[in-house]
Structure 1
Amino acid sequence: MTKSICRWGFLGAANIARKNWKAVRMSGNGVVAAVASRDVERAEAFIHDCSLECPPVITDEDGNAELTRPEAVGDYEALLQRDDIDAVYIAVPTSHRKKWVLAAAAAGKHVLAEKPFAVHADDAKEMVDACRDAGVNLMDGVMFDHSARLPELKHTLTDPNVFGDLKRIQTHFSFCGDDSFEEANIRAAADLEPHGALGDLGWYCIRFTLWAAGDRLPKMVSGQSIVRLDDGRVPGEFQGEMRFDDGLTAGFYCSFFSVNQQTATLSGNRGYVTLDDFVLPFNGSESSWQSHQHELFVDNCRWNFGKHSRQHGVTEHASGEADSQEVRMIRHFANQVLHHQTDSRASDIALKTQLVLDALRRSDADESRWVELETV
């Protein structure tokens, strides 16, 4: 008999885990059974705080709801060995992630891991192979991958009358850290998050580019750290370029030192498309995008640039509701677990994103020269 509830274990009590706690609650097919931290008191505090806002509930097949309380665990390995855990969400720093993904696979647990995926592509490939050999799913936590917006946006991009052929992709993801960011935030620490802004923000820019390009890898890339942190070892501000084998090009900018911006522009030969919130949708009940076919009219002394824009959207709440992208992610993953299905695209696209990131780091270390992608 197929189980109806996926029992989650959380490894790590990072802030982003709080959002996924609520996503599990809203998914309708999952419950958080345990939370592990190296400090059991921190795990207790995490459970306490999250339960106040979003109490964990188990619903039986008859629709009866029962309030439950996850167990706080002071050891990651102890959580992995529990029999009441089907899947784990791993929110430990990137430098520690490989160890615990491999341990989860060995324990037969399905894995949803935070991004960036790994320190190096070789590590990412080892993680993917270990999970496949163990027969468990592996996915990175890119929430917009699961938005209802992307399939509909694809219709716009494939409309020959509205968009035409894709020629250029440009993305930008940034926020401005406070005065204590470099000293206090792990994203500026090489021993914990060695990829800095490139891993934390650029990961989304790379991923959106790969999605728009049909999951194809670029042929070559060039990257440059504009600002470096932690004695020059961590990108704090980064720009990158990608070239594909059919003439498509893409560029992105990510930064810990620029105002909040999450924009994407996709340019075709007949029109272009813009998104103002491609990572985290603006608050509301609709995820939107705009298509543009502006026209320049010249007649002797008359020069008129006509604006022709259309608004598009799908019904989808920005966060914390049953149709939100992070809830869709959790629900989709749990469905795979509960029905003993595998999603090879999830681990494949995470590995491809890591390959691009690695190539960009190599280019950055070599005076931004164009480098070809390596495979693993």
Structure 2
Amino acid sequence: MWLHHPRTVKMKEMLFDSKLLGDVNYIYSTSTTSASPEFFENDIRVKGNLDSLGALGDLGWYCLGAVLWAKNYQLPTVVTALPDVTTNSDGVIVSFSASIQYKEPSSSGATTNAIIHCSFLADTSMDLNITGSKGSLNLNDFIIPQRESSASFEFTLGAKFLDLHIGWNVKPERVVVNCDELPQEGLMVEEFTRIVAGIRTTPGVLPDPKWPEISRKTQMLVDAVKKSVDLGCKPVYF
């Protein structure tokens, strides 16, 4: 849903349209929530015979999708689950971390590394931090904004230490984006309605391939992390 928020549009302008942050070098994303005992007892997401992907299929979808978004949906070179995987008695993943690496150098010669952490065992976090060759972008509520009416993020450009390392030469700049018309959930439904209406009213028109492609690539990363876990946290190459 966060892809439909106007804040995401604004961040995209900074990352891709203006190249304000330069080439993306590092991405860090978390999605954690402290689930209740009732959740672990009854929820479909932690049942081995139901939605057996657990935190990976639920929380991991957002973090892996954020990595793809930050790389303009370029697939990585290698995905590796880190050895901090926690499973329940059904063998369902309830907490994990993963490394996603892009080993093909960017125009500046740098590669991109990403780390994600997702868990049903930690306090709520929804962090997305992107570091580029010219600046960085940070927000701590990227999946569900803390306020429905507006959302914000911070970016820093050309940060350096002052003499004697007693501070920074710049402070992060906060950008606030209003969401006056509809919340992101409503905007998602509106987009779906637009696509369906276009198909129904225009004979021969095929669905917009954008969203199926995003879903397919995100699922590919989810599957790669799961395969890495099953292999004992060995790398999975694309």
Structure 1-normalised TM-score? 0.57
Match of 2:227 among 323, 347, 362: 362
1:49-198 alignment runs, 5 A limit:
143-158=1-16, 159-160=18-19, 162-198=20-56
State whether structure 2 residue 174 is matched by structure 1 residue 311.
yes
1:293-308 alignment runs, 5 A limit:
293=157, 294-298=159-163, 302-306=164-168, 307-308=170-171
The residue number in structure 2 matching 1:334 is 193
Distance 1:333 1:284, change over 3 A: closer
Instruction: Write the letter of the residue equivalent to 1:272.
Output: S
In 2, are the aligned partners of 1:189 and 1:230 still within 8 Å (CA)? Answer: no
Distance (whole Å) between structure 1 residues aligned to residue 130 and residue 215 of structure 2: 22
How far has the Cα of 1:284 moved from its partner?
4.2
| Unmatched 5+ stretches in structure 1 | 1-142
Other structure's SS at 1:289 match: strand
1:25-64 alignment runs, 5 A limit:
none
How far has the Cα of 1:291 moved from its partner?
0.4
**Identity percentage over the alignment?**
27
> Once the two structures are superposed, what CA deviation does each residue of 1:163-197 show, in whole Å capped at 9, x if it has no partner?
22210111000100112332122211011111100
The residue number in structure 2 matching 1:229 is 88
How far has the Cα of 1:230 moved from its partner?
3.4
In 1, are the aligned partners of 2:149 and 2:183 still within 8 Å (CA)? Answer: no
State whether structure 2 residue 117 is matched by structure 1 residue 259.
no
Instruction: Write the letter of the residue equivalent to 1:254.
Output: C
The residue number in structure 2 matching 1:121 is none
In 2, are the aligned partners of 1:176 and 1:257 still within 8 Å (CA)? Answer: yes
In 2, are the aligned partners of 1:190 and 1:234 still within 8 Å (CA)? Answer: yes
How many residues align? The count is 222
| Unmatched 5+ stretches in structure 2 | 106-110, 200-204
State whether structure 2 residue 128 is matched by structure 1 residue 270.
no
In 2, are the aligned partners of 1:202 and 1:254 still within 8 Å (CA)? Answer: yes
Instruction: Write the letter of the residue equivalent to 1:350.
Output: S
Structure 1 stretches of 4+ with a deviation exceeding 4 A read none
In 2, are the aligned partners of 1:240 and 1:251 still within 8 Å (CA)? Answer: yes
> Once the two structures are superposed, what CA deviation does each residue of 1:110-139 show, in whole Å capped at 9, x if it has no partner?
xxxxxxxxxxxxxxxxxxxxxxxxxxxxxx
State whether structure 2 residue 209 is matched by structure 1 residue 344.
yes
The residue number in structure 2 matching 1:199 is 57
Distance (whole Å) between structure 2 residues aligned to residue 303 and residue 283 of structure 1: 36
In 1, are the aligned partners of 2:149 and 2:179 still within 8 Å (CA)? Answer: yes
Distance (whole Å) between structure 2 residues aligned to residue 229 and residue 176 of structure 1: 15
Distance (whole Å) between structure 1 residues aligned to residue 191 and residue 211 of structure 2: 11
How far has the Cα of 1:315 moved from its partner?
1.2
> Once the two structures are superposed, what CA deviation does each residue of 1:221-265 show, in whole Å capped at 9, x if it has no partner?
00146210133x210001011111331111100000000100110
- The structure showing larger relative contact order (alpha-carbon pairs under 8 Å, at least 6 residues apart) is 2
Other structure's SS at 2:48 match: coil
Distance (whole Å) between structure 2 residues aligned to residue 259 and residue 222 of structure 1: 24
More displaced, 199-208 or 361-370?
A: 361-370
In 1, are the aligned partners of 2:148 and 2:183 still within 8 Å (CA)? Answer: no
Distance (whole Å) between structure 1 residues aligned to residue 30 and residue 65 of structure 2: 12
Instruction: Write the letter of the residue equivalent to 1:287.
Output: A
How far has the Cα of 1:151 moved from its partner?
1.9
